[in-house]
Each structure stands twice: as C-alpha cells, then as structure tokens.
Structure 1
Amino acid sequence: MDKTELLNRMIAWDQGDPRRIQHALKVYQFASLIGRMEGLPGDVQDVLEIAAILHDIGIHAAEKKYGSTAGKYQEQEGGPVAEQILHELGIGAGIIERVRFLVEHHHTYTGVDGMDYQILLEADFLVNAYEDELSPAALRSFRDNVFRTESGRKLLQQIYGIA
C-alpha cells in the first residue's frame, strides 16, 4: 500500500501541531526501518507502518475529552479515529482491525502478540526517549524490560550510546 494519502490524512488531522506530526513521521520511519531490518513479511510490514503513522491519532481527542495526553487516553480515543480514516481510504477490514488494536495498545507493554506490536513499541520509544530527554538509566531499563528485537536494541545502542 502506498502510504502517501495516509500520511497526508494524518498531517491534516494534526494540522497546526508540528511537534506531533514530526513525532508520527519519526516513529513511522523507525518502525519501517526496524521492520525491514527484521525481515518482516510484506503484509506485516504494511500493518506496522500504517499503525506507526496513526499511533497517536487520538491525542487531540484525549486532550479535549480528558485534559490529558496520557497513554491510556490516547489508546482509548485513537482506535475509532484510525478505523474511520482507514475505512475512508478503502482499507480492508482485517488490516483495519489489526491497526486499530495496535493503536489501542501502543502504550501497553504486556501481552505483546506479534512483531508489528513489538516493533511499534520500540520505534515509539526511540523517538520518545529523545523528545523526553530520558536518562541513560531509563534507556537501559526500557531496553532490558521491553526491547526484544535485535534491530531495535542495535538502534537504541547506536543512537544513544548505551552499553
């Protein structure tokens, strides 16, 4: 699937919020890279990339409804928005279902049930770690407790220089 229209929809949805748009683009790029490095099958890679583009699509609704961008609120509000956008783009029901699940769980680190889910967590963390200026101790803790892919661990080490 060509991601151009989806990227344009995400940017339009987050119009006027360059920080969030750039965050989504970075997570998409890291997810795409890790997926390719891990040799994901094409269909899984597509789902991963779609979910990465849309992973924070519920953040404005969470702010409006709850006055908070907490992960649990992003997850609650993001699924329906992701589903709506993908439905409008004519994406198949199976892909929509999986992407919605990933959007609704991208801050949930237990019950990871696939490489698409695992890589989305890792890609989001790679970006959040920089944006939130996490300490080396926090980076090591997340690496030891959440990272599972060789590629994600390698990128974490190369980017942040942690042993």
Structure 2
Amino acid sequence: MQDNVVQQVLKRAVLYFECDARRIHHLLKVYTFARNIAVLEGLAGNELVTVEISAILHDIGIKEAERKYNSSSARFQQEEGPGIAREILTPFGLEPGLVDRVCFIIRHHHTYTKIHGIDFQILVEADFLVNIFEEGIKDPDAIRSIKEKYFKTPTGIAYIESVFGVR
C-alpha cells in the first residue's frame, strides 16, 4: 500500500511540474538517492515513506514562488511548498503526523540548522548530491567542505566521496 502511495505522489509531482523537464529530472534524481540512502541506512515503514515523499516534494514550492514572487529563492520555495504538498497528499489519507513531518522537512530543507532526524538528514544529503552536479561545483575543497559540514550517514558520505572524488 505505502509503495503505491509513494508512486502516486511521484506521478502527481511530475504532472504538477508539467513541461519543466529540469525540475522533474531534479526531483527524480533526489528521490533515487534519498530512497537508496534510506534503505541502505536501514529505514523502513513510515520513516522510509517520509524520506521518499519529502524527496519527491522538497522543491514543490518553486513553481508557486516563481509565479508569486518571480523568484525561486530558497526562502520563497520553503514558504510555498508545504501548502502545495498538503494538497497533493490529502487524497491519500496518510497519517497526519507523517504529512506534518513531510511539510516540516519541505519548509526547512534549505535551513541546515534545522536538521534533526535521519529522515531530514537523508533528504539534505540527497539534494546536495544532485545540486553539486547540477550547479557545476567542481572545486574539490568546496565539495569537501559540504561533505564535512552536512553529511552524516555512512552511505551519503560514501556517495559524495565516490561521485566527486573527495576524501
């Protein structure tokens, strides 16, 4: 049941971002890294579903932020994202606590001082793994700094070291 919900949320997010291939590809990459890290770190049940849905919907506020503020800044996307996420999630009858946690992570996913919980940590690591590449960050010292500041899971650390060649 839960795996089907995750796949339905993924479908709704892809349809929501219609004709925006860049954002769709971003969410698919973040989702793939987040799910993989979560499974390898031993998450299951609602904790795994929280990671998966948070990864899918983490940037869902961008479209509305651009419409309202003509900006995709982190502040605006974090502000707009939780309400849109709730609308997307409502038809699935998920536990209110799970939806609240997903919305909290979306509201703070660029506020790294708010990271608490393995679910939030994994989303941040997955987003960095994709953003480093998409933003063209090539300086090994910059990548190493990101790793040292923000990566905590053994799987996430192994990935950033392997993908970007930093130790």
TM range (shorter): over 0.9
The one-letter amino acid paired with 2:160 is L
* Equivalent residue pairs, number: 163
Q: Secondary structure at the match of 1:104?
A: helix
Equivalent residue number for residue 17 of structure 2: 14
Q: Specify which of 28, 31, 35 is matched with residue 28 of structure 1.
A: 31
Q: Specify which of 76, 90, 107 is matched with residue 79 of structure 2.
A: 76
Equivalent residue number for residue 150 of structure 2: 146
Moved more, 76-85 or 131-140: 131-140
Equivalent residue number for residue 49 of structure 1: 52
Equivalent residue number for residue 38 of structure 1: 41
Cα offset, 1:42, TM superposition: 2.2
Cα offset, 1:17, TM superposition: 0.0
Cα RMSD over matched residues?
Answer: 0.9
Q: Specify which of 117, 122, 141 is matched with residue 125 of structure 2.
A: 122
The one-letter amino acid paired with 1:23 is H
Which consecutive unaligned segments of at least 5 residues does structure 2 have? Answer: none
Distance 2:93 2:110 in 1: 27
Taking structure 2 as the reference length, the TM-score comes to 0.94
The one-letter amino acid paired with 1:126 is L
Q: Deviations over 1:17-53 (max 9, x none)?
A: 0000010010000000110111113221111001100
Q: Secondary structure at the match of 2:113?
A: coil
The one-letter amino acid paired with 2:18 is Q
Identity %: 44
Q: Secondary structure at the match of 2:94?
A: coil
The one-letter amino acid paired with 2:142 is A
Cα offset, 1:65, TM superposition: 1.2
Equivalent residue number for residue 4 of structure 1: 7
Distance 1:156 1:70 in 2: 25
8 A Cα contact 2:108 2:114, kept in partner: no
Distance 2:56 2:30 in 1: 7
Distance 2:59 2:104 in 1: 13
Which consecutive unaligned segments of at least 5 residues does structure 1 have? Answer: none
